[in-house]
Structures are given as C-alpha cells and as structure tokens.
C-alpha cells in the first residue's frame, strides 16, 4: 500500500529525484522586476513595487486595504496590537497551527488560550469556541462598548480570537465571527496558508477586523520572505503602515516618531517578486487544485483518506493532507516515504505540548489530539 502511494507521488513529480513538500516556482517576470529595482538603485519610484503588490493583493482578496510587511509573524503581531491587544491580555487561538501563530501572540506580551479544532476543517471549531467562552468567561465590570469578557480563572481580558485556515482549508469562519461578535471580541484571521482560499466565495482573511498573509519560502506564492495585513478598515491600514515604518511622522527632514514603532515594512525588492508572482496566481492555484484532484482520485476507496476542502469553501490546497487510521500506520508511512526520497511530514506538534506553551490554558482538545496522530502532508508543489 505504502509503495503504491510512493509510486503515485513519483508520477506527479516525475523529474524529481527527491520530491519536496513544496517548492517555489518562478516562471513569470520575477527577474525582470528585481533587475528594475537594482537598476533604479531602489530609491526610484519606477515600478513602485510595494504599492503595486498591495493593490494587487487588495484586488485579488477583495480586502479594501493591504499593507506589506516583512513576514506573516510580524503581520499578525502588528494586527493584534492594532486590534487593541495589550500586554497581559489573553488571545484565543487553536493548538493545531504553525508555531508562528502562538509566537506572534506572545510577542504582544499576551498569553495564548488554545481552543480545539474541527476534524473536517482542521481549523478552529466554532462549537468548541462558544463552549469555552460560555464556561470560562464573565462580562467585564466596566460597561464600556469596548469592554472585553474576562477570563474567570485569570481575571485577564480576552482581547482577540485568531482562527487559522489550516493548510489552506477555510475553517468555519462565519460562525466564529458571529460568536466573537456576541462576546465583543475582535477576530484577526491567520490566513498565512490560505491565499487563494475562499469561504462562500469570500476570500479568507476578510471576515474579521483584519487578516494576515504569508509569502515565506514554501507558500502558494513566495517572495522569499514576506507578509501582508489585509483589512477593510482604512484607519487600521493607515495605523499599520505607520507602526511598521518606525512610527515616523511625515516631515521633509525632521525625525519625529510618535509611538514605539517597528522596522517591519516590506522591501521593494521583496515586493517586486510578489508582483511578478501575483500576475500568475490563478495559474498556480489551478495547478495546485488539479494536483489535489488527482490525489482525491487516487485515494478513493483506499485505507488512507485524502482530506478534501470543507463544504461551502474553495481551498488553495496549499499542502495536501492524508489521514491514517492511527499513529503507528502514520509513522511507518513517514519512515518509508522519507527513506524513498518523498518528503512527507506529520502535522505540527500541538502548541500546548511545546515547552514554552505547556502552561497555557486549554479547552477540551479531543479533535486536535486525534488529528495530531493521523495527519500527514504530502508533496503539493507546482507541477510543470
């Protein structure tokens, strides 16, 4: 059975000796645009790549504003700060995510609270979220419109919810937004993995106050390293630009800064690669969805299950996933496939099991625990 899977993956990537999980593809104007940057010694506005990359992102996602930054972690940290998250607060996220989600929350001086995922979406479970909020929070004594619910056990405010669209599959974001609104908590969507993924036709990252995207080395489109904040709120976007450019107050020559800022804006050369990649994002997504379709076909009626996009969604199928019946099978497969030059990897270790997050509050994590033992990512890169 394992041999059959390995051989099938080889047919998908016939030219590769070692099949990677996801390699970037550069078949557009990347070189031309980068060379433009060098020729204009960066300082010229020829091309204005950062602004163009932001515009293209807004057009593609339907978000009114996009702000390009150094990476997805920085994007999430800044978005949380702008959502009003303060040192000592708590932020709800899911235990099944890449560590950057929890790190960005920590970088705000905030503690993550881990709420379970759904088995089908692998993203935050609306039911589990509502259950946790109902049993673990109380209303704030301050009855200001901005007052957040208080965690009963720690007495700290819950100031944001960060659902993540795992491997590109949209989570139940509509229900999450409704619950968050009932509890007066802002939602910042970690869409680092879901550029090109839609829930009921609306792009992930555009449901909450803001969303973030990532262009790290192995993402659907890559700039080598980069991120984006997307939002429909104009002031939020302006503040994001300000805070990520050392909070400098515009002046012809004076150096005045009005808050503790960051050096987090994306460089022109990074944006130049992003612009070139966005020009053919449709082609990349179509290619990835076709790969997913071939996997789906192959795994039909097999012991190993291929994970399909949740209902009501269109996924970018960033990293394709298969599900084993137990951890033992999973480990045997990982071992055999990696030995045979096919790079597969298990889903991440749950956040609450990592040393630095093991004392964080958690809800019931049955689904995340169940998935942790069974899910494996299989090669999903662009196929020539």
Residues that bind its own copies (CB under 8 A): 20, 23-26, 30-31, 34-35, 37-38, 41-43, 70-74, 87, 98-100, 102-103, 106-107, 109, 216-217, 222, 224-225, 246-248, 252-263, 267-270, 273, 334, 338, 343-346, 348-349, 354-356
| Closer Cβ to its own copies, 74 or 180, answer by number | 74
Contacts by 25-29, CB closer than 8 A, 24 or more apart: 25/284, 25/381, 25/382, 26/273, 26/276, 26/277, 27/280, 28/276, 28/277, 28/279, 28/280, 29/275, 29/276, 29/279
State the minimum distance, in angstroms, from the CB of residue 110 to its own copies: 11
| Closer Cβ to its own copies, 25 or 188, answer by number | 25
For residue 342, give the DSSP letter: B
| Closer Cβ to its own copies, 110 or 137, answer by number | 110
Question: Residue 83 in contact with residue 188, Cβ under 8 Å?
Answer: yes
CA torsion sign for 245, 246, 251, 253 is negative
State the minimum distance, in angstroms, from the CB of residue 225 to its own copies: 4
| Closer Cβ to its own copies, 103 or 232, answer by number | 103
State the minimum distance, in angstroms, from the CB of residue 197 to its own copies: 21
Element (H, E) at 236: helix 234-244
| Closer Cβ to its own copies, 72 or 163, answer by number | 72
Structure tokens at 176: 């999450």
φ and ψ at 160, to 5 degrees? -160, 160
State the minimum distance, in angstroms, from the CB of residue 260 to its own copies: 5
State the minimum distance, in angstroms, from the CB of residue 66 to its own copies: 19
Element (H, E) at 306: strand 305-306
């Amino acid at each position: 059975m394992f041999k059959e899977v390995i051989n099938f993956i080889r047919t998908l990537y016939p030219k590769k000796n070692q099949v990677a999980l996801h390699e970037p593809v550069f078949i557009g104007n990347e070189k031309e645009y980068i060379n433009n940057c060098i020729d204009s010694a960066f300082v010229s506005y020829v091309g204005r790549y950062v602004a163009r990359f932001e515009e293209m992102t807004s057009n593609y996602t339907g978000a009114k504003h996009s702000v390009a930054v150094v990476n997805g972690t920085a994007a999430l940290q800044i978005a949380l700060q702008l959502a009003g998250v303060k040192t000592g607060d708590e932020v709800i996220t899911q235990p099944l995510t890449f560590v950057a989600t929890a790190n960005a929350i920590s970088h705000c001086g905030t503690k993550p609270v881990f709420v379970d995922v759904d088995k089908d979406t692998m993203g935050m479970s609306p039911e589990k979220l509502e259950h946790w909020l109902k049993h673990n929070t109380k209303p704030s004594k301050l009855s200001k419109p901005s007052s957040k619910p208080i965690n009963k056990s720690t007495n700290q405010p819950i100031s944001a919810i960060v659902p993540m669209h795992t491997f590109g599959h949209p989570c139940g974001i509509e229900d999450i937004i409704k619950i968050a609104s009932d509890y007066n908590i802002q939602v910042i969507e970690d869409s680092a993995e879901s550029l090109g993924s839609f829930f009921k036709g609306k792009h992930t990252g555009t449901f909450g106050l803001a969303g973030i995207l990532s262009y790290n080395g192995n993402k659907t489109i890559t700039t080598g390293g980069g991120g984006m904040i997307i939002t429909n709120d104009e002031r939020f976007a302006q503040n994001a630009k300000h805070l990520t450019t050392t909070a400098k107050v515009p002046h012809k020559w004076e150096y005045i800064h009005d808050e503790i800022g960051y050096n987090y804006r994306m460089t022109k050369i990074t944006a130049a690669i992003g612009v070139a990649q966005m020009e053919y994002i449709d082609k990349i997504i179509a290619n990835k969805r076709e790969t997913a379709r071939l996997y789906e076909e192959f795994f039909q009626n097999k012991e190993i299950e291929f994970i399909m996009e949740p209902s009501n969604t269109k996924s970018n199928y960033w990293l394709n996933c298969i599900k084993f019946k137990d951890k033992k099978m999973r480990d045997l497969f990982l071992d055999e496939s990696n030995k045979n030059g096919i790079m597969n990897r298990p889903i991440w270790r749950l956040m609450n099991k990592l040393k630095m997050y093991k004392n964080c509050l958690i809800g019931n994590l049955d689904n995340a625990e169940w998935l942790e033992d069974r899910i494996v990512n299989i090669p999903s890169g662009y196929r020539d």
